[in-house]
Structure 1
Amino acid sequence: MKALALLAAMLVTFVVMADDEPLPQASVADIKELVQVCRQMATEDEVSKAELQDYLLDCVNDQLNEMGYQQVKSLQKYQ
């Protein structure tokens, strides 16, 4: 439940950026928190091990997008 509250709080605090400016990068700490939240969601959604990495990357990138940050290509350094 804490994870969902954290996710909701992070979504509420997203930054709106102008279309012509590049999006900022999220901090490593923020991305690590999103990975943990998404991992918990994957458990609740009963995502298989084979699909877990794709699920996590999609989930984290969806959240980063909602928060106004650049997406990441890999979660390798955040796990």
Structure 2
Amino acid sequence: MRTIKILTSLLFTLSFAASANENQTPQAPNEVLSSLRDACHQIAAEEKIEDMENASFVFDCINDQLNEMGYQRLLPSENPTPAL
């Protein structure tokens, strides 16, 4: 019984710590975002990504790089434009 209480306390503490760390992730400076946007557009052009998939590819590319650099990910827009 005591072990269960200790494990529960430990799990609660770890989940709180993980939540606190997520909120402390810094936002990327505009210069970094601009640089990543340009680089991801370049990759999309080199990979010949179709226009309909280009925005999604660039968005995912930027978020992957931000994550690797330790910055907050970009949030998707609330009103995405439909692909034509």
Q: TM-score range by the shorter chain?
A: 0.5 to 0.7
Instruction: Find the counterpart in structure 1 of residue 70 from structure 2.
Output: 68
Summarize the Cα distance change of 1:29–1:60 in structure 2 as closer, same or farther, 3 Å threshold.
Answer: same
Q: Which structure: larger Rg?
A: 2
In the alignment, structure 2 segments of 5+ residues that lack a partner are 1-16, 78-84
Instruction: Find the counterpart in structure 2 of residue 29 from structure 1.
Output: 31
Cα distance in 2 for residues equivalent to 1:74 and 1:37: 19
Among all aligned residue pairs of Structure 1 and Structure 2, give the percentage whose two residues are the same amino acid.
38
Going by fraction, where is helix more abundant, 1 or 2? 2
1:38 lines up with 2:40 in the alignment:
yes
Cα distance in 2 for residues equivalent to 1:37 and 1:54: 15
Shift of 1:74: 4.3
The one-letter code matched in structure 2 to 1:62 is D
Shift of 1:73: 1.5
RMSD between superposed Cα atoms in Å: 1.8
Q: Deviations over 1:23-63 (max 9, x none)?
A: 10000111010000000000111001100110000000000
Instruction: Give TM-score scaled by structure 2 length.
Output: 0.63
Instruction: Give TM-score scaled by structure 1 length.
Output: 0.67
1:47 lines up with 2:49 in the alignment:
yes
The one-letter code matched in structure 2 to 1:63 is Q
